[in-house]
Chain A
């Protein structure tokens, strides 16, 4: 079993839709959760991070962590065609030296 599981999609939605992207994990020691966005032919770039259970909001993006269920989510409100990318979740133990990635969900937002 992989440490982090993520539905690969692809997920296709119309512009303006609310998008929900999810990851599950098996290691209850994970404390620090990140979402990276990767455009085609580019490297992943950090979108958001959270360091506890609960929600964190940044503009149209909300990251949610449910440690009891070992489940994290990224919500995108009012999705735009420019949001079309692969979204990778990543997590780690604070002050460890390794990140664990999900395999990414490909999102396509249609105009």
Chain B
């Protein structure tokens, strides 16, 4: 059973379109995250939710809107897609929002977004 699963795996779309990525975790974790990984493999946090509440919102354009219907799900909606949004988007979860050896990050396998 996949612990953190995200769909779709690949997403190819044109500039200006709106798209969504979905994430689900079956680990019983309280905290979920969206990370963006650029072509140089740098992982940058975008958002973090703890028990459905937003706790981290890095300087991300407001075209990106996360939604957490329950603590097992975190979706990412992107409006008016731009070329620079092309990247791999990773969902992750952790036991709690407090970082420590008992609460490492568990990642999904990513959604590869290509904007043409």
A32 touches B107 (CB 8 A): no
Knowing A8-B40, A8-B41, A104-B41, say if A94 contacts B109 (CB, 8 Å).
no
* Any A CB within 8 A of the CB of B56: yes
Fill in one digit per residue for A35-48: 1 if any B CB lies within 8 Å of its CB, else 0.
Answer: 01010011111100
Query: Which chain B residues border A104 with CB–CB below 8 Å?
Result: 41-42
* Any B CB within 8 A of the CB of A61: no
The stretch of B12-20, B68-76, B93-101 in contact with A is B93-101
B99 touches A42 (CB 8 A): no
Cross-chain pairs A/B with CB under 8 angstroms, 12 sampled = A32-B101, A41-B110, A43-B4, A43-B90, A43-B109, A44-B43, A88-B41, A94-B99, A95-B100, A97-B97, A99-B45, A103-B40
* Any A CB within 8 A of the CB of B104: yes
Number of residues on chain A facing chain B (CB within 8 A): 28
* Any A CB within 8 A of the CB of B66: no
Number of residues on chain B facing chain A (CB within 8 A): 24
Binding site for B on A (CB under 8 A): 8, 32, 34, 36, 38, 41-46, 49, 51, 86, 88, 90, 92-99, 101, 103-104, 106
B43 touches A49 (CB 8 A): no
Query: Which chain B residues border A96 with CB–CB below 8 Å?
Result: 98-99
User: With the chains together, A98 CA to B35 CA distance in Å?
Assistant: 11
Contact of B99 among A36, A98, A101, A103 (CB under 8 A): A98
List B71-116 residues whose CB lies under 8 Å from chain A: 90, 92, 97-101, 104-110
User: With the chains together, A36 CA to B108 CA distance in Å?
Assistant: 13
User: With the chains together, A63 CA to B43 CA distance in Å?
Assistant: 21
User: With the chains together, A88 CA to B56 CA distance in Å?
Assistant: 22
A103 touches B108 (CB 8 A): no
User: With the chains together, A41 CA to B45 CA distance in Å?
Assistant: 19
Taking each of A8, A34, A43, which has the highest tally of chain B beta carbons within 10 Å of its own beta carbon? Answer: A43
Contact of A103 among B42, B97, B107 (CB under 8 A): B42
User: With the chains together, A38 CA to B109 CA distance in Å?
Assistant: 10
Contact of B107 among A8, A44, A92, A94 (CB under 8 A): A44
